[in-house]
Amino acid sequence: NAGVTQTPKFQVLKTGQSMTLQCAQDMNHNSMYWYRQDPGMGLRLIYYSASEGTTDKGEVPNGYNVSRLNKREFSLRLESAAPSQTSVYFCASSASGTPSNQPQHFGDGTRLSIL
Amino acid sequence: SQKIEQNSEALNIQEGKTATLTCNYTNYSPAYLQWYRQDPGRGPVFLLLIRENEKEKRKERLKVTFDTTLKQSLFHITASQPADSATYLCAPDLYSGNTPLVFGKGTRLSVIA
């Protein structure tokens, strides 16, 4: 049982390049999330998808776009990468119902460096 | 997140002692609060969820309390072991209802043998 799988695990980009981070879950969860984690800042929500076909902005959405491709997959795209987007990106999922009373299951992250 | 304060960035304790981590939130009335563990290089792992009417919840050596008057949750690890060394994150349901969690910055616990 893989849970939440993120690809790639590491990536180095140059400023201005674009990239899509992939996330897939095999738990039949309705809700999916993208976070970034920076030293001293904790986990911050970028975008989330409460159910297939819907997406909403989180705390720090600027510079990112998302696509809920189907129930399993939720991708995060950086259209024009900036050094400020250097971070560790985590994808998570949770079961249906009120998201806040459901545990979130996280992937192991994508470590992204932008030069 | 500035809405959530976790007592300190780092906490060192001796093996066998009880570790107590604090999570304070202000100006909100969460119905739920979750605690997660994060090891270096890994994603957070869910530990416990406590509801506002539960006051206390236990799982093996873990105990969580939820004081809605003090706007505080305490997370206890009894008989701590070096394997308990990790960062612990609290995540209250600040906005109630169908909205995502907001995570605290975490407390890094080191259990010294």
Contact pairs from chain A to chain B, CB under 8 Å: 66
Contacts of B6 (CB under 8 A, 6+ apart): B21, B22, B23, B24, B88, B89, B90, B104, B105, B106, B107
Q: Are strands B62-67 and B72-77 parallel, antiparallel or unpaired?
A: antiparallel
Three-state DSSP state, A88 = strand
Walk along chain A (115 residues) in steps of 10 and give the mean pLDDT of each run.
Answer: 92 97 96 93 92 91 96 97 97 81 94 97
Torsion of CA B86, A35, A90, A41, to 10 degrees: -40
Q: How confident is the model at residue B2 (pLDDT cuts 50, 70, 90)?
A: low
Nearest-CA distance B101 → chain A (Å):
6
Nearest-CA residue of chain A relative to B2?
A41
Determine, for residues B44 and A90 on separate chains, whether the beta-carbon distance falls below 8 Å.
Answer: yes
For residue B1, what pLDDT is reported?
A: 47
Nearest-CA distance B102 → chain A (Å):
8
Q: Which residues pair with B48 in a beta bridge?
A: B35
State the CB neighbour count (10 A cutoff) for residue B53: 8
Determine, for residues A43 and B51 on separate chains, whether the beta-carbon distance falls below 8 Å.
Answer: no
Q: Are strands A4-7 and A19-25 parallel, antiparallel or unpaired?
A: antiparallel
pLDDT tens-digit series, residues B40-94: 999 999 999 999 899 899 999 999 999 989 999 999 999 999 999 999 999 988 7
For residue B3, what pLDDT is reported?
A: 81
Q: Please provide residue A46's backbone torsions phi and psi, each rounded to the nearest 5 degrees.
A: -95, -60
Q: What is the mean pLDDT of residues B8-21?
A: 92
Chain B residues within an 8 Å CB radius of A41: 105
State the CB neighbour count (10 A cutoff) for residue B69: 5
Those residues of chain A whose CB sits closer than 8 Å to some CB in chain B are 4, 33, 35, 40-45, 48, 50, 58-59, 90, 92, 98-101, 103-109
